[in-house]
Structure 1
Amino acid sequence: MSESTKSPKIFISYSWQPIQNKNWTLEFAERLSRDGVHVIIDEWDALEGMDKYSFMEQMVNDPNIKRVLLICNGSYQAKANDKKGGVGIESMIISDEIYSQADQTKFIPIVRESKDGKACLPTFVNSRFYIDLSDPEYYEDNYEQLLRNVFDKPKSSRPPLGEPPAFITQDDPIKSQTANKLLPLINALKNNKSNTEIFINEYLDVFINSVMEFQFSEEEADRNKPLDEFVLERLEKMSIFRDEFLLLLKTYSKYSTFDTEIFHKFFENLLSRTLNSQYSDQGISDHFNFFNYELFLYFTSFLIKNELFKELQYMLYNPFLISKRDRPIEPIMYYHLNKPVYSLNKGRSERLRLNRADVTADTIKERIHEDFKFDEIKETDIMLYYVSCFQFDPSTFGHFAWWPHLTVYHTYRLPIIEKCISERHFNKIKSLFGVQDKDELKEKIEVIREKGADRIQRFHNEFPHLTNVFDFDKIGKYK
């Protein structure tokens, strides 16, 4: 038995009048005893020949007495205030203890009676928190509260302290713009305010504007240091935006119904702005390319982790409407958020002779967010590739399909697919492949095989072929 659950000792101070109060108190003491509390009360512990005032003083001052319960009815209130009788003596002893001791939690008023809507509390405790046992409707709940107090087992306890969000510890003025919008947004979500959507849209607009502050200036375009160094420096500073975005997702999904259109519009705007950045055609927007890829990876991982599959299906099958420079608006799919990062994969790898298959993948792994496991992000990367195979377009696929960088870290198991032995799980994720049942899924995968849509050669990128990943005999085997 732990220290906190050993029988704690308590002393009960009460008035013998009226007789109903004495009888109630004795029944109350008996119940506490049955519930493991060592009760000391004059009726049981003050023997003949003992000095009753000395007994009371000893009980109140005894360090082994964990709690002193004051049973407050009209008689107890009057006698304590008038300093009459045993209650009056006890009240003087107790009030001296209360005002002279640092630990004031030892004394708990128990309200037995109220008059004119006010608890019958003596003056010396009328400003203290009390437990109300006067109302039969709430008696059991409040009795449980008392027991938890005596045994130091509160119903709720303080959660462990975490680290302050990154935007709190950063001093960069660009980042503070987003922080100034994020804090009131989180407050609006937690308090269910009616104007939450306005806060979200304002925050996401400022978010994109702040990200765009990191595009290269003309002077930086004539750089005197390797491009990959510039890119990594910017990515380090832009980490704050990824972390803020994940905090927003976590808070938003907890306190609000998930409106996918808000985030579809956000990624559409982010993609449009970064594609139209000043130097996007000069190979020095790789930090934007990496940032878009990483952010969408985490966004998708979050949806999968929280089983928001319908919301994810909306994101993956509804095109973004993008106008690049002066060209007409063009519908493009989510895999345009995954554009090559040449400065890392080619420039940095060759310059430093790293002999690495994919420096983008290495960088994602090095920057992993504490709320996610790398295997989760890697599985998301593969799923986004598989879904792009179902959207196969021979005219563009070779250039713009989702490239699963993280598969250079070899993958042999995909839990999200393996769980399809559960009919319930399969019915949740089947919309990601645009099918209604496993027969249709089988037909589509056969078309993918015939067209060669799963065309990544498994040299460095080792993971299951789409034609082999599903065991159709086992799909939906269990309810």
Structure 2
Amino acid sequence: MQSALAKRNQRLHGVGMSQQNTTSPRTFISYSWSSPMHEAWVLSLASRLREDGVDVILDKWDLKPGHDSIKFMEGMVTDPTVMKVIMVCDRVYAEKADARAGGVGTESQIISPGIYASSTQDKFAAILTEADENGKAYLPAYYRGRIYFDFRSGDAFEDSYEQLLRWLVDRPQHVKPKLGAIPEAILSATPTAIGTQSRERRAEEAIRQGTANAAAYVREYGDALLPELKNLTPALASGEAADEKVLAAVEAMRPYARQFVELAAVTARYGHDARVWDAVLSVLEQVGRLMWRDSDLRSWHSHQFDAFKVVGHDLFVSIVAVALDEERFDLASTILGRSWLVCVTEGANRQSTSDFTVFNQHIESLEHRNQRLKLNRISVHADIVHDAHRKGAVPSFESVMQADFVIFLRSLGQSTQSRWYPFPLVYATDRFSPFPVFARSESEVYFAQLAPVLGVPDLAEFKRRLVDADLSRRASQMFDHNGLAVKYLANADFLGSRA
């Protein structure tokens, strides 16, 4: 059977120990002759350390008759080949060290400067063998506040001994890992939206608890959100590349957008009061107004509001996405059927409100960026949405594409003020599997729940829409004629195929 000593050495030194520097560390033990029992304890400790490969120097072994005891002590403390010095501290040792009395006092005068020298602090360590009636350690004044090895408990002796031995042979139990690279996800992460955090949490808690004033808390959150976003409006000047500042502003707004979507997700999951969802959409409407200049603003840059157009679109699609993920088709239908008071209207005889397509705006600064940097991207905006919804984001990019596809299909069947161009679906041009809501719509019952979101009365009407010649032509020409497999994404051949 393997001995306890062999097992401990195996833990200490590891399998590859023979390939490392195994020179026995020279160690001097400083102690007081407090009692014969204490001396015997020190002698036993020193003997065991030598058995475990530590070259212990002890006065009983190495201070010969006729030797100068002071020079011996000085040599042990100052000799660079003596790598470690152990101070065995009991009441007598601490008293003599503080009084600078006897051999211990002499050693203390030599040891104390070394302890305070930053280059040699790791050379000295105390062993505690005794404490006063209050449990306070007997340590020299110059060593108080420093780490020591506690040998007061006989039951814990083996653990204390192993810790001491590890320190002597420089084999710590906990090795500092190799310094790696900072994760890219951390470097690229946007900061937390501190300015609105407390109000968002209060609104979220009220929604979870179903309190009567949850909608009011959501509106209070919106009141705090708007000025935070306005403060991030990029300052643009004529003649400069505006796209860099627009993208920087978008990144600065990201934590606020993420926070708002999380609140919408909580509402979709826990909110059963229609007033709460209406409050969420009212906040979204206020954010949407930032996509255009305020009517009082007389001087502005043509790209000054592009960052809000990016964020506004992302918020709209993301909120539809979380509603679909939670199968809250009632909420998704509400957001797509709502009239939005967001765009400043100028002149007479023009509608004041817009349909959902108002959140899908062409953004010139992103087009200029594509040309300026020769990126040759089909849609820089699609890349921005993709990067904002990487793994772990809420909602996922898969959910965002699904929501965008649903919104696109709804826009085909109704008279909208402008077309909904589903640019995030450039990432789905080589996809031939249906999105989840359409895969589940093989069930007639499930499709009947989804139908109001798509703006159709029944499955037959939706299938007619999917085979419409205009849709086929538009889908084939989309994304620089890469095309979009609408019928496959919508699971057209299997919709309603079972009850």
Provide TM-score, normalisation by structure 1: 0.56
Question: Aligned partners of 2:61, 2:323: CA distance in 1, in Å?
Answer: 67
Aligned equivalent of 2:6: none
Aligned equivalent of 2:74: 57
Compare 131-140 and 6-15 and name the one that shifted more. Answer: 131-140
Question: Aligned partners of 2:35, 2:242: CA distance in 1, in Å?
Answer: 84
After superposition, the Cα gap between the structure-2 partners of 1:273 and 1:122, relative to the gap in structure 1 and judged at 3 Å, is: same
Q: How does 1:157-236 map to 2 (within 5 A)?
A: 206=224, 208-214=226-232, 230=242, 233-236=245-248
Kindly state the Cα deviation for residue 212 of structure 1 after the two structures are TM-superposed.
2.2
Aligned equivalent of 1:427: none
Question: Aligned partners of 1:201, 1:20: CA distance in 2, in Å?
Answer: 77
Of 270, 273, 288, the residue aligned with 1:275 is: 288
Runs of 5+ consecutive residues of structure 2 not aligned to the other structure: 1-16, 201-217, 272-276, 296-301, 344-352, 451-458, 492-499
Q: How does 1:371-450 map to 2 (within 5 A)?
A: 380-386=396-402, 394=410, 403=422, 405=424, 407-408=426-427, 433=436, 443=443
Kindly state the Cα deviation for residue 42 of structure 1 after the two structures are TM-superposed.
0.7
Question: Aligned partners of 1:324, 1:22: CA distance in 2, in Å?
Answer: 89
Kindly state the Cα deviation for residue 85 of structure 1 after the two structures are TM-superposed.
3.8
Q: How does 1:57-456 map to 2 (within 5 A)?
A: 57-99=74-116, 102-115=119-132, 116-135=134-153, 146=164, 149-150=167-168, 151=170, 153=172, 155=174, 206=224, 208-214=226-232, 230=242, 233-242=245-254, 260=266, 271-277=284-290, 279=292, 285-292=305-312, 313-314=325-326, 324-325=340-341, 339-343=360-364, 356-362=377-383, 380-386=396-402, 394=410, 403=422, 405=424, 407-408=426-427, 433=436, 443=443, 451=462
Deviations 1:88-139 (A, max 9, x none): 3322221243356643232222222110221101223234343433246776
Contact (CA 8 Å) 1:111, 1:133: kept in 2 or not? yes
Question: Aligned partners of 2:20, 2:288: CA distance in 1, in Å?
Answer: 63
Counterpart AA for 2:378: A
Counterpart AA for 2:364: S
Kindly state the Cα deviation for residue 213 of structure 1 after the two structures are TM-superposed.
3.5
Deviations 1:70-95 (A, max 9, x none): 12111211232333443233222212
Counterpart AA for 1:124: Y
Of 448, 451, 460, the residue aligned with 2:482 is: 460
What value does the CA root-mean-square deviation take over the aligned residues? 6.3
Deviations 1:320-348 (A, max 9, x none): 87873399xx9x9xx98973434257677
After superposition, the Cα gap between the structure-2 partners of 1:128 and 1:38, relative to the gap in structure 1 and judged at 3 Å, is: same
Counterpart AA for 2:398: I
Alignment partner of 2:97: what SS? Answer: helix
Kindly state the Cα deviation for residue 32 of structure 1 after the two structures are TM-superposed.
5.2
Counterpart AA for 1:233: K
Contact (CA 8 Å) 1:357, 1:408: kept in 2 or not? no
After superposition, the Cα gap between the structure-2 partners of 1:394 and 1:242, relative to the gap in structure 1 and judged at 3 Å, is: closer
Runs of 5+ consecutive residues of structure 1 not aligned to the other structure: 186-199, 254-258, 301-308, 418-431, 469-479
Q: Higher Cα Rg: structure 1 or 2?
A: 2
Question: Aligned partners of 2:375, 2:181: CA distance in 1, in Å?
Answer: 40
After superposition, the Cα gap between the structure-2 partners of 1:29 and 1:408, relative to the gap in structure 1 and judged at 3 Å, is: same
Kindly state the Cα deviation for residue 405 of structure 1 after the two structures are TM-superposed.
2.0
Counterpart AA for 1:38: V
After superposition, the Cα gap between the structure-2 partners of 1:243 and 1:26, relative to the gap in structure 1 and judged at 3 Å, is: farther
Question: Aligned partners of 1:7, 1:260: CA distance in 2, in Å?
Answer: 63
Deviations 1:224-273 (A, max 9, x none): 779xx656533323423336888x99xxx9xxxxx945999997576222
Contact (CA 8 Å) 2:28, 2:84: kept in 1 or not? yes
Question: Aligned partners of 1:463, 1:27: CA distance in 2, in Å?
Answer: 83
Deviations 1:416-445 (A, max 9, x none): x9xxxxxxxxxxxxxx9579xx9x686489
Contact (CA 8 Å) 2:128, 2:151: kept in 1 or not? yes
Contact (CA 8 Å) 2:429, 2:485: kept in 1 or not? yes
Kindly state the Cα deviation for residue 178 of structure 1 after the two structures are TM-superposed.
6.5
Alignment partner of 1:66: what SS? Answer: strand
Question: Aligned partners of 1:122, 1:67: CA distance in 2, in Å?
Answer: 18
Counterpart AA for 1:125: Y
After superposition, the Cα gap between the structure-2 partners of 1:53 and 1:117, relative to the gap in structure 1 and judged at 3 Å, is: same
Counterpart AA for 1:234: V
Contact (CA 8 Å) 2:98, 2:105: kept in 1 or not? yes
After superposition, the Cα gap between the structure-2 partners of 1:96 and 1:315, relative to the gap in structure 1 and judged at 3 Å, is: farther
Counterpart AA for 2:99: D
Question: Aligned partners of 1:462, 1:5: CA distance in 2, in Å?
Answer: 68
Aligned equivalent of 1:192: none
Contact (CA 8 Å) 2:85, 2:124: kept in 1 or not? yes
After superposition, the Cα gap between the structure-2 partners of 1:350 and 1:96, relative to the gap in structure 1 and judged at 3 Å, is: closer
Contact (CA 8 Å) 2:285, 2:341: kept in 1 or not? no
Kindly state the Cα deviation for residue 154 of structure 1 after the two structures are TM-superposed.
7.0
Question: Aligned partners of 1:396, 1:73: CA distance in 2, in Å?
Answer: 88
Deviations 1:434-463 (A, max 9, x none): 79xx9x686489969984699865743679
